[in-house]
Amino acid sequence: MANNTYFDNKTILVTGGTGSMGKTFVRRVLSGEMGTPKKIIVMSRDEGKQHNMRLSYLNKQSSTEETIYNNFKNLLEFRIGDVRDLSDVISAAKTADIIINAAALKQVPSCEYFPEQALMTNCLGAYNIVRAIREHDLPVHTVIGVSTDKACKPINAMGMTKALQERIFISANILKPSTRYLCVRYGNVLASRGSVIPLFHDQIKNGAAITITDVGMTRFLLSLNHAVDTVFKALLDGKAGEIIVPRAPAALMTDVAKVLIGDRKIETKITGIRPGEKLHEIMVSDEEAPYVEARGDYFAIRPMLPELNSKGANPESPLKKEFSSGDTLLDTAGTKALLAKHKLLIDDQPGFSDDEMLR
């Protein structure tokens, strides 16, 4: 999959770039593994996270005037802005070759209580990117929308708005064919902000019972680097209107808890499924399965719009049914090996997280 010149002399805009995935993506781009970009623009509305990320990039422990006022001279540029605001998007995107839309409201309970806020960030934000490019004829080559397994047959507001984000980006290919729009869709990201692993860690370290919503609950599990690999795969191999899905492993949440607890005398408490929560997550639905192509360790879901997919369904699709986290589960040993690989066992240092330095 590697292409060590892909980012050469390109300007990359990452909306929501101070989040877990955005920071990991930026770190990987700065490593040079895909080439040397001309500029990386991080746009978000959190000045505190931007400040910490800037200091990390400059290997500094405290702020100086040089740190602040040389912002636009640096390879890594920070912009305060919100995808909800069209003018912010236009300003940030006007020189971009590639846009990664990682800006999102992603917490299921928060989106259930404030669905209108999820709509504005997850849907209006995507539409503002499309409008900025189309109405101002911006020379953007590729836009990647970061989606979630919860967008597949959604039952909660977060998933519903992410599903609409997918459709907004996919359909944008028709009216602006010079820009390639596509999406990535993946499941629970290990150690990302707000995910279950940090919650379990905190509960164990405080001697509290681990809370599990249902004994049969399963989730896809992948690392932040695997999430970034999926974006790289989409950039290198994806076609307009496709959704790229990693063939990620899945596990029972009870096994994740068991592995993390180890020999400790920690109880588990079943709390019941929360509003808007599924027992199993789905990465590809029954309806999408006929449109799937196998691409190594990934699935590519072809668009259903005939203008973007003249071939229609794929008779050689590797999927005959939905791709669910309940289909093929890691056993307890496999779950432990996965967590150990990413240094997420309770005695290890957690893997790359929201607070890790870019260097």
Whole-model pTM? 0.92
User: CB under 8 Å to 244, separation ≥6 — which residues?
Assistant: 182, 183, 184, 185, 230, 233, 234, 237, 238, 295, 298, 299, 300, 301
> What percent of the chain stands above pLDDT 90?
82
Q: How confident is the model at residue 354 (pLDDT cuts 50, 70, 90)?
A: very low
Element (H, E) at 143: strand 142-148
**3-state SS assignment for residue 241:** coil
Q: Is the pLDDT of residue 220 over 80?
A: yes
Q: What is the per-residue pLDDT across 100-112, written as a single tens digit (0 to 9) for each?
A: 999 999 999 899 9
Encoded tokens for 258: 């068991």
Q: Are 240 and 180 in contact (CB under 8 A)?
A: yes
Encoded tokens for 234: 């989409």
Which residues make beta-bridge pairs with 210?
Answer: 268
Q: How confident is the model at residue 69 (pLDDT cuts 50, 70, 90)?
A: low
- In the chain, the domains with their CATH numbers are 11-186+222-247+283-324 (3.40.50.720)
Q: How many whole angstroms separate alpha carbon 334 and alpha carbon 258? A: 12
Encoded tokens for 69: 């006022």
Q: How confident is the model at residue 180 (pLDDT cuts 50, 70, 90)?
A: very high
**What pLDDT, on the 0 to 100 scale, is given for residue 317?**
97
Q: What is the per-residue pLDDT across 284-297, written as a single tens digit (0 to 9) for each?
A: 999 999 999 999 99
Q: How many whole angstroms separate alpha carbon 247 and alpha carbon 40? A: 29
Q: How many whole angstroms separate alpha carbon 75 and alpha carbon 72? A: 8
User: CB under 8 Å to 311, separation ≥6 — which residues?
Assistant: 302
Tell me the DSSP string of 289-356: GGGEEEETTEEEE--SSTTT-TT-S-TT-S-SS-EETTTSB--HHHHHHHHHHTT-STTSPP-S-TTS
Helix, strand, coil content of the chain in percent (nearest 5): 35, 20, 45
Q: What is the per-residue pLDDT across 70-125, written as a single tens digit (0 to 9) for each?
A: 676 789 999 999 999 999 999 999 999 999 999 999 999 899 999 999 999 999 99
Tally of residues, the chain: 359
Encoded tokens for 177: 């064919």
Give the count of beta carbons closer than 10 Å to the beta carbon of residue 138.
Answer: 20
Q: Is the pLDDT of residue 188 over 90?
A: no
More confident residue, 193 or 26: 26
Q: How many whole angstroms separate alpha carbon 115 and alpha carbon 17? A: 22
Q: Is the pLDDT of residue 30 over 70?
A: yes
Q: CA dihedral in degrees (255, 281, 314, 127; nearest 10)?
A: -140
Q: Is the pLDDT of residue 49 over 80?
A: yes
Q: How confident is the model at residue 197 (pLDDT cuts 50, 70, 90)?
A: confident
Q: Is the pLDDT of residue 355 over 50?
A: no
**What pLDDT, on the 0 to 100 scale, is given for residue 356?**
40
**3-state SS assignment for residue 153:** coil
Angle between helices 253-261 and 196-205 (to 10 degrees): 40
Burial of 107 (0-12, 13-18, 19+ CB in 10 A): middle
Query: Would you please indicate which residues are annotated as catalytic (active-site) residues?
Result: 150
**What pLDDT, on the 0 to 100 scale, is given for residue 294?**
97
**What pLDDT, on the 0 to 100 scale, is given for residue 57?**
85
Q: How many whole angstroms separate alpha carbon 353 and alpha carbon 348? A: 13
Q: Is the pLDDT of residue 165 over 80?
A: yes
Q: Are 24 and 52 in contact (CB under 8 A)?
A: no
Encoded tokens for 161: 């708005």
Q: Are 264 and 343 in contact (CB under 8 A)?
A: no
**What pLDDT, on the 0 to 100 scale, is given for residue 35?**
96
Q: Are 146 and 192 in contact (CB under 8 A)?
A: no
* Secondary structure (H, E, C), 73-142: HCCEEEEECCCCCHHHHHHHHCCCCEEEECCCCCCHHHHHHCHHHHHHHHHHHHHHHHHHHHHCCCCCCE
Mean pLDDT of 151-174: 97
DSSP category for residue 35:
B
Per-chain mean pLDDT for the chain:
91
> What percent of the chain stands above pLDDT 70?
92
Q: Which has the minimum average pLDDT: 110-114, 345-349, 352-356?
A: 352-356
Q: Are 187 and 222 in contact (CB under 8 A)?
A: yes
Q: Which has the minimum average pLDDT: 145-154, 215-224, 272-281, 324-333?
A: 272-281
Element (H, E) at 268: strand 268-270
Of residues 151, 135, 273, the one with CA closest to residue 213:
273
Q: Is the pLDDT of residue 67 over 80?
A: no
